[in-house]
Protein backbone atom coordinates (compact mmCIF):
# COMPACT_ATOMS: atom_id res chain seq x y z
CA UNK A 1 0.00 0.00 0.00
CA UNK A 2 2.85 2.36 0.82
CA UNK A 3 4.46 1.80 -2.58
CA UNK A 4 1.24 2.66 -4.46
CA UNK A 5 0.79 5.84 -2.44
CA UNK A 6 4.45 6.74 -3.01
CA UNK A 7 4.09 6.17 -6.77
CA UNK A 8 1.01 8.37 -6.96
CA UNK A 9 2.69 11.13 -4.98
CA UNK A 10 5.84 11.00 -7.09
CA UNK A 11 3.74 11.09 -10.28
CA UNK A 12 1.99 14.24 -9.05
CA UNK A 13 5.34 15.84 -8.24
CA UNK A 14 6.71 14.89 -11.68
CA UNK A 15 3.66 16.36 -13.42
CA UNK A 16 3.97 19.52 -11.36
CA UNK A 17 7.63 19.90 -12.36
CA UNK A 18 6.70 19.29 -16.01
CA UNK A 19 3.95 21.92 -15.87
CA UNK A 20 6.26 24.48 -14.24
CA UNK A 21 9.04 23.77 -16.75
CA UNK A 22 6.59 24.13 -19.64
CA UNK A 23 5.34 27.42 -18.27
CA UNK A 24 8.88 28.72 -17.68
CA UNK A 25 10.27 27.61 -21.04
CA UNK A 26 7.29 28.03 -23.38
CA UNK A 27 4.19 29.81 -22.11
CA UNK A 28 5.57 32.81 -20.23
CA UNK A 29 8.29 33.61 -22.84
CA UNK A 30 5.61 33.77 -25.55
CA UNK A 31 3.65 36.23 -23.42
CA UNK A 32 6.83 38.23 -22.79
CA UNK A 33 7.63 38.35 -26.53
CA UNK A 34 4.15 39.56 -27.42
CA UNK A 35 4.30 42.19 -24.68
CA UNK A 36 7.75 43.38 -25.78
CA UNK A 37 6.67 43.62 -29.40
CA UNK A 38 3.62 45.72 -28.54
CA UNK A 39 5.20 48.05 -25.97
CA UNK A 40 8.88 48.39 -27.00
CA UNK A 41 8.71 51.85 -28.58
CA UNK A 42 6.17 53.44 -26.21
CA UNK A 43 7.33 52.14 -22.80
CA UNK A 44 8.16 54.42 -19.89
CA UNK A 45 11.45 54.09 -18.02
CA UNK A 46 9.97 52.00 -15.20
CA UNK A 47 8.20 49.76 -17.69
CA UNK A 48 11.44 49.35 -19.64
CA UNK A 49 13.21 48.28 -16.44
CA UNK A 50 10.53 45.63 -15.91
CA UNK A 51 10.99 44.52 -19.53
CA UNK A 52 14.73 44.09 -19.02
CA UNK A 53 14.10 42.06 -15.86
CA UNK A 54 11.61 39.80 -17.68
CA UNK A 55 14.11 39.20 -20.49
CA UNK A 56 16.83 38.39 -17.94
CA UNK A 57 14.57 36.10 -15.90
CA UNK A 58 13.04 34.21 -18.85
CA UNK A 59 16.16 34.16 -21.06
CA UNK A 60 16.32 30.34 -21.42
CA UNK A 61 12.77 30.22 -22.77
CA UNK A 62 13.35 33.23 -25.02
CA UNK A 63 16.47 31.59 -26.45
CA UNK A 64 14.53 28.37 -26.97
CA UNK A 65 11.80 30.17 -28.93
CA UNK A 66 13.99 32.68 -30.78
CA UNK A 67 14.63 30.59 -33.93
CA UNK A 68 10.88 30.49 -34.60
CA UNK A 69 10.10 34.18 -34.08
CA UNK A 70 10.42 36.98 -36.61
CA UNK A 71 10.14 40.42 -35.03
CA UNK A 72 11.33 42.38 -38.04
CA UNK A 73 8.94 44.99 -39.44
CA UNK A 74 6.89 44.05 -42.45
CA UNK A 75 8.12 45.41 -45.80
CA UNK A 76 6.46 48.60 -46.97
CA UNK A 77 4.23 48.58 -50.01
CA UNK A 78 5.46 51.27 -52.39
CA UNK A 79 2.81 52.36 -54.85
CA UNK A 80 3.84 54.03 -58.09
Structural domains counted in the chain: 1
Residue 79 lies inside a defined structural domain of this protein: no
Residue 80 lies inside a defined structural domain of this protein: no
Residue 78 lies inside a defined structural domain of this protein: no
Residue 68 to residue 57: CA distance in whole angstroms: 20
Q: Provide the greatest CA pair distance for the chain.
A: 79
Predicted structure pTM score: 0.76
Please write the tens of the pLDDT for every residue from 45-68: 999 999 999 999 999 999 999 998
Question: What are the C-alpha distances in Å from 76 to residues 34, 38, 54, 72, 79?
Answer: 22, 19, 31, 12, 9
Q: Which domain holds residue 42?
A: 2-68
Please write the tens of the pLDDT for every residue from 28-49: 999 999 999 899 889 999 999 9
| Helix, strand, coil fractions of the chain, as percent rounded to 5 | 75, 0, 25
Check: CB of residue 18 under 8 Å from CB of residue 52.
Answer: no
Amino acid sequence: MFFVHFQRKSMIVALLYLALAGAYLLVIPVVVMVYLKQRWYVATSIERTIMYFMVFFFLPGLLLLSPFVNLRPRPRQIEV
